[in-house]
Amino acid sequence: MSTETASRAALGPEEERSYFLVNKMGRIFFLALEEAAGSESMRTILSAARMQDRVEDYPPNDFAMAFSFEELGRIQQAIEELYGPGTGRRLARQVGRKCFRKGAEDLRPVLGVADLLFRILPLRVRFRIGFEVLAQMFDRFSDQVVALEEDEQYFSWVTERCAACWGRHTDEPCCDLLVGLLEEAVYWLSGGARFFIEESSCIAAGDSTCTILIGKQPLVEGVAQEE
């Protein structure tokens, strides 16, 4: 039995259904990946993902729910197979950061984020509002299911149905695309500060949710400091 066949056989009822993101989000992802990897590498990645038809046919710039979780998961798997876990996941994070930057410009009029008013708020309030807006964006423009939690130390981005690792089976968390997107979101929300961000659980690794922890205190040389 091939790896692909075994993977399909392991799919549960949830993964057998089709879920989607709007085409605009798919297009942002394709443009970010091409920018990060280069045009030739983009062709190689799509070929490895058995998506040669997408080389000249990126998702259109509209809000139709037509870019599938399966496509995104296959591309993420192809990146890791081509580049290896270390380099592949670094590339996925880079793509995630670019996705946020492109998406922030493209979707800002739709989301209604007012920069000047927003930036005078206390940092933790900015984080809370920013994460809520981002979660609402995924709820509105995709079939992903996102919840926000927090305790004294962390904000938790909890995804119950995750496009970033859809259909994958790994030994450790692999939603680096989403980690990179949240890294850039935090960078933007904080005005350039660095924070602890790490995926603590992943559906692809057998967990019930994909959970990304975001520290509440900025880092100085890797160590959290009090505000």
User: Model confidence over 58-109: pLDDT tens digits?
Assistant: 999 999 999 999 999 999 999 999 999 999 999 999 999 999 999 887 666 5
Do 98 and 35 touch, CB atoms closer than 8 A? yes
The model carries a pTM of 0.87
Which domain range does residue 12 map to?
3-224
Do 146 and 208 touch, CB atoms closer than 8 A? no
Mean predicted lDDT score pLDDT of the chain: 87
Give residue 195's identity as a one-letter amino acid code.
Answer: F
pLDDT one-digit tens code per residue, 2-12 = 333 334 334 44
Given a cut of 50, the residues of the chain with pLDDT beneath it are 1-13, 222-223, 225-227
- Total domain count, the chain: 1
d(CA 202, CA 170): 9
What CATH number does residue 213 fall under? 3.90.1520.10
